[in-house]
Homo-oligomer: A and B are copies of this chain.
Amino acid sequence: MTLEGRFDEDAGVVRVGSDARQRYHDSRGYGYPLEGNEIALAPIEAAHLLYRGDLEAVVDDASGDRLDFRAFAAREPGEKFGVRFLVYADLRSRGFYLSPAAEPWVPDPPEGAVDFAVFPRGKGPRDGETEYALRVIGERTDVPASDLEDAVLAVVDEESEITYFDVSSRDPSGSSTPDAALPDGCEADLLADRVVVWEPPLSLYETTFYGQPLEGREYDEPTLQLSLLEAAFLAERGAIDLDPETVRDRGHEVEGERFARRLAVYTELRERDVVPKTGYKFGADFRTYADVESVENLGHSELLLRVHPDDHVFEPRDLALDVRLAHGVRKTMVFALVDGAGGIDWWSVERLTP
């Protein structure tokens, strides 16, 4: 015997009586209990039960209309109904129980702009554990950088496919040659968009991994090419004999305001003993190495880093692109958000298969 629900649009819930409490809530984690045997379902939950044939219909309290899945869905009850329903159905089909991230569905809902609390497999809304705090958006929904939080972002594309992103606050650190001495006043030439150091000590590249050697010279010490960023950092510390302000000005000419932001991030990473190198080939700002003992024994870089101002607004499509590329080259995508005073927030975004 299938049941019917009653849609109380003012309260925003669908009430179901009879043995709904045992069948839907206790054993399958839908809704929350009301007095007597009744349970209250969020429209999403009611839609799912209709979709699966567990509820025969939902009767609209106000009009008396009997709504099947099609009619109920067409009314789009609640905000972002379509995309939220698709994610709800997907996670259910993967064997998770999940509830709207609100009381009284869950006793202690996750904070922030969270749509669902997803429970560990085998657990439900009353067990007190959340596996994922989940936010659902369509692929056209902008995400301001200030909205990022430790949570899972489910993006529903225009074909109703869902990509899950694990967003985590991050604190990069490393152990790359913290005590290696920088040289003092090496001769360097500032070219249009890069710097050349003609006779650097070998350790500048081989141990502390600054620059890139130019190949095929007939000298003992390889000529090193530095990016403007590396040159600005080294000039500030007197390691090369260029005026730091001149180098920074050149950086600004070539790259605009991005240069100062990237320099702030470069500097912070070096001070955390992480080695940043250019990420151009990956379409990122940096690739970073946490533990460089020597270039000879260099492992693979672990992070791809993209630098944004803190008022940046992410388009989900660009997130998909960055994260997918990072995944394809076995690295983690990290975003460094820089505020006006040079303060930096770090966020990793990784693909997640729930």
Contacts and interface: CB of A to CB of B under 8 A. Distances in A.
A160 B225 CA distance: 7
A229 interface: yes
A20 to B, nearest CB: 20
A314 interface: no
Contacts of A283: 317-318, 320-322, 324-325
Contact of A282 (B81, B198, B320): B320
Interface size class of chain A, counting residues whose CB lies under 8 Å from the partner chain:
35 or more
Interface stretch (A25-33, A102-110, A188-196, A292-300): A188-196
Copy count, this protein chain = 2
B76 A191 contact: yes
A148 interface: no
A214 interface: yes
A280 B192 contact: no
Contact of A161 (B76, B212, B216, B318): B212
A89 to B, nearest CB: 7
Interface in A223-270: 225, 227-229, 254-255
Contacts of A138: 193, 254
A321 B158 contact: no
Given A82-B192, A192-B81, A329-B328, A212 B280 contact: no
A73 interface: yes
A158 B325 contact: no
B321 A282 contact: yes
Nearest to A282: B324
Given A52-B216, A321-B321, A82 B158 contact: no
A80 B194 CA distance: 11
Interface of A: 51-53, 70, 73-74, 76, 80-83, 89, 93, 138-140, 155, 157-161, 163, 189, 191-194, 196, 198, 211-212, 214-218, 225, 227-229, 254-255, 277-278, 280-284, 316-318, 320-322, 324-325, 328-329
